[in-house]
Structure 1
Amino acid sequence: MAIPLGVAELLGPIFGAMMYGIHIVTFGVALRKLLTTQSGRWKRGSEIKWIMVVVSCLLFIIATLDLVMAIITIVQAFVLYTGPGGADHIFTHSAGYQTMTKSFCVGFQSLLGDAILIYRCWFLWNRSWLVITLPLLIWLGNIATVVRFLDLLAEATQGLIISSAVQPWVQAFWALTISVNVMTTSLIVGRIWMVDRQNKKLGIDINRPQTTLGHAMRNIIESGMIYTVVSIFALVTEILGSNLTYPASHLEIHSVGITFNLIIIRASGMTRFLQSTSASASMPLHIHRHTTTTVGREGTDLFSLSRLDKESQLTKTLEQSDMEIPRP
C-alpha cells in the first residue's frame, strides 16, 4: 500500500530527530577526541587535525539545517496552513526555499562524505592519484548531477523530488554515491588486507585469532555498510517512486555524520591500545629484507618491520587520515 505524501513527510523529521540524537552524541565525543589529549588537556593548535574538525562541524551543521527546514515545513503544513488542499498543498505547491534547502543539504552532505572517503583512500595509498582516478571522476560527475537536479527542482511547478522531471537525476545521484562508497571502501580495505596478508607470510601474528589490521578491515566494512545500506534504500525508493524517499533522505543525511564521527572515535581507541602495547612489549623489533611497499607520510617499509613497528606505522598513517581501527 502506497504511503500518503503527508505521512511520509511527517515520518521524515521523526526519523531524522532519532538519528539526530545519535549524531549529537557521536559529534560531541569525536570533537573531544580531536581537541583534547588522553589526559584531558586541550591540544595545541599544531596538534589538532583541523580538516577533520571542520568536516565534522560542517556535517553536523548541515544535518541540523536540514532538520530545522523539515520541522518548519511540517509546522506550516499541519498547523499554520488552513487553506484548500490541506497539508499536501504545502508539500506540493512549489519548490519553495524549504524544499531547495533540504535538497541541497542532502546533496552537499553526501558529496562531502564521499570526498572524505576519497581523501582517506588517496592518503592510505601513499597519495597515489592513479588509485583514486575513477572514484574522483565519478565524484566530479556527481557534483554535476546535483547541480542539474537542483536546477530542475527550482523550475518545477510542484516541489516534489519524486516528480518525473527530477527523478532520473536523483536516481543517478544515489547510484553514483553508492559506486564511490563501494569503490573507496574496497580500496581502503584492500590496502590493509595486503599488509595483513604479508604479516602472515612473515610469520607475524600467527598465534593471534585476529590481528589489529584484521579488526581494522572488519570495522571499516561495518561503518561503510551504514552509509551504503541507507544510500541503497534511498535509491530503491526513488526507483519505485515511493514517498518513502523523504524518510530515507533524513536517514541518509545523518548516517554520513555518524559514520564519520565513529571513525574518529574508534581510531582514538586504537591509538591508546598501541601506545600501551608498545610500552609493555619486551620483544625486539627486527628488520627483514623483503619487497617493500610504502604507506604514509614517511614512506615506511610496512612489509619489512616486525608486528609492533609495522602495525604502529600503518596505524599512524590510518590515524592521520582518521581511518577507524578499534581496540582489539
Structure 2
Amino acid sequence: MSFSDLRANVVALFTTSVLYGINAVTFFVCIKVLLGSRGRASSWRLIHYTMITTALVMFAVATLDIGVIFDRCIKIFIDEMPQRMTTFSGISNWWSIVEFSNTVVQTFIGDAILICRCLVIWNRRWKIVLGPAATCCIGTGCGIAAAAVGSTNFHPNNQEEIQPFIIPFLALTLVTNVATSSLIIFRIWNVGRRSTPYLVPQEAGGALPRAIRVTLEAGLLYTTAVLVLLITYSTGHHSQIIIGRALIQIIGIVFNSIISSRARQKGSLTVAPTTMLPLDAMVINQEVVVSHDPPDKQGRRIAERAKKNRVVLW
C-alpha cells in the first residue's frame, strides 16, 4: 500500500463519516414517513413493511461499511510501517472483499427499488422495465463474480483478475440508473403535458413538476457518483477508494430522500391502498371541467381521456 493509498483511506474515513451522518438523519425521517402520516401513526395494516425493511437493510449495509473503514484505518496506523506496506497491499484482504460486497448489495437494492418505482409509474407495464432489469441483473452478476474471484485469489495486486468484472459492473449500474430515471421522468412529463389543458387552475404546476425535480436530483446524484467511480477505477486513481465508500452512503441518502419527499406532496394527491401499490403510492387524478351541460360526445371523450391521464408517484 502506497502513501497515496494511506491518505486516500484517511480522506475516505472522513468523507464517509460526514455522509453517514446525513444518511442517518434522512433514514430517521424516512422511517417517520413510513410509519406515520401527517403527524399521526399509521395503522399496522397500512404500514408498508417492504419499504421499511429495505430502508433498514440499506442503513445496516452503510453502517457495516463505515465500521470496516474505521477498523482498517486503526490497523493501518497501529502496525509498523514495513509490515503495513506489505501486508495491506492488493485487493484480497478481507476488508476489501467486505467493502466491495457492500457496494454490490447496496447498488443492487438501489437499482431494484428504482426499477420497481418505474414499473409502478408506468402502470405495471413489464415490457418497459425489461431492459433496466436485465442490465441490473447482469451487472450484479459481474459484481458477485468479482467478489468471488477476489476472495479466492489470496495474493497481492490481483487487479488484473477482477478488473474485467468490476468495470462492467459499474458500467451496467450506470446504464440502469440513467435508463430507469429517464423513463420515470419521461412518463411523468408526458402525463403532465397531456393533462395540463384539462386541469383545474389549482392543480396546474403542482405535484408533477415536484416529482420530476425530485427524480432528476436523485438520479443526477446517484449517476454522478457511479460515473466518477467508473472513471477513477478505470484510470487507477487513488480517489476510487474515497468515491467507492461514499457511493454506499449516497445510495442510502437518495433512497431516503425519495421516500421522504412523499410527506411534502400536497394538492391533488390521494393515497391508494397498500395492497395495490407499494409505499401507499400517491395517485394524481386529473380532474376535468366540461362546459357542456349535459356533456356532448366531445365532452365525454375529453373526460374519458383525462381519466386515463393518471400517474402513480412513489
For this structure pair, what is the TM-score category when the shorter chain's length is used for normalisation?
0.7 to 0.9
Report deviation, 1:21: 0.6
Letter in 1 for 2:251: V
Report deviation, 1:174: 0.8
TM superposition score normalised by structure 2: 0.84
Partner of 2:42: 43
Q: 2:208 aligns with which of 196, 213, 216?
A: 213
Report deviation, 1:14: 1.2
Q: Any idea what the Cα deviations from partners look like across 1:166-224, whole Å, max 9, x if unmatched? A: 12321111100010001111111111111111123x35367988443122212211111
Q: 1:148 aligns with which of 138, 145, 150?
A: 145
Letter in 2 for 1:73: R
Q: Is the 8 A contact 1:27 1:261 kept in 2?
A: yes
Specify every segment of 5 or more residues in structure 2 that has no aligned partner in the other structure, as ranges.
Answer: 271-286, 291-298
Q: CA separation in 1, counterparts of 2:226 and 2:203?
A: 36
Task: Classify the secondary structure of the residue corresponding to 2:244.
Answer: helix
Distance 1:104 1:290, change over 3 A: farther
Q: Is the 8 A contact 2:200 2:289 kept in 1?
A: no
Q: 2:250 aligns with which of 255, 266, 269?
A: 255
Q: CA separation in 2, counterparts of 1:291 and 1:203?
A: 8
Specify every segment of 5 or more residues in structure 1 that has no aligned partner in the other structure, as ranges.
Answer: 277-283, 293-300, 323-328
1:139-178 correspondence runs (5 A): 139-158=136-155, 163-178=159-174
Letter in 2 for 1:304: A
Moved more, 203-212 or 23-32: 203-212
Q: Any idea what the Cα deviations from partners look like across 1:36-89, whole Å, max 9, x if unmatched? A: 2313x322221111111111111100000011011111101112x126243x33
CA RMSD of superposed structures (Å): 2.7
Report deviation, 1:151: 1.4
Q: 1:304 aligns with which of 299, 303, 306?
A: 306
Distance 1:304 1:166, change over 3 A: same
1:1-328 correspondence runs (5 A): 4-39=4-39, 41-79=40-78, 81-82=79-80, 84-86=82-84, 88-92=85-89, 95-158=92-155, 163-200=159-196, 202-204=197-199, 210-270=205-265, 272-274=266-268, 286=289, 289-290=300-301, 303-305=305-307, 314=311, 317-318=312-313, 322=314
Task: Classify the secondary structure of the residue corresponding to 1:166.
Answer: helix
Q: CA separation in 2, counterparts of 1:47 and 1:152?
A: 44
Q: Is the 8 A contact 1:3 1:244 kept in 2?
A: no
For this pair of structures, how many residues does the alignment match? Answer: 289
Name the % identity. Answer: 25
Q: Any idea what the Cα deviations from partners look like across 1:233-292, whole Å, max 9, x if unmatched? A: 10000111111111011111011110111111111110x44469xxxxxxx854754489
Q: CA separation in 1, counterparts of 2:75 and 2:4?
A: 18
Distance 1:212 1:158, change over 3 A: same
Letter in 1 for 2:27: F
TM superposition score normalised by structure 1: 0.80
Q: CA separation in 2, counterparts of 1:115 and 1:159?
A: 34
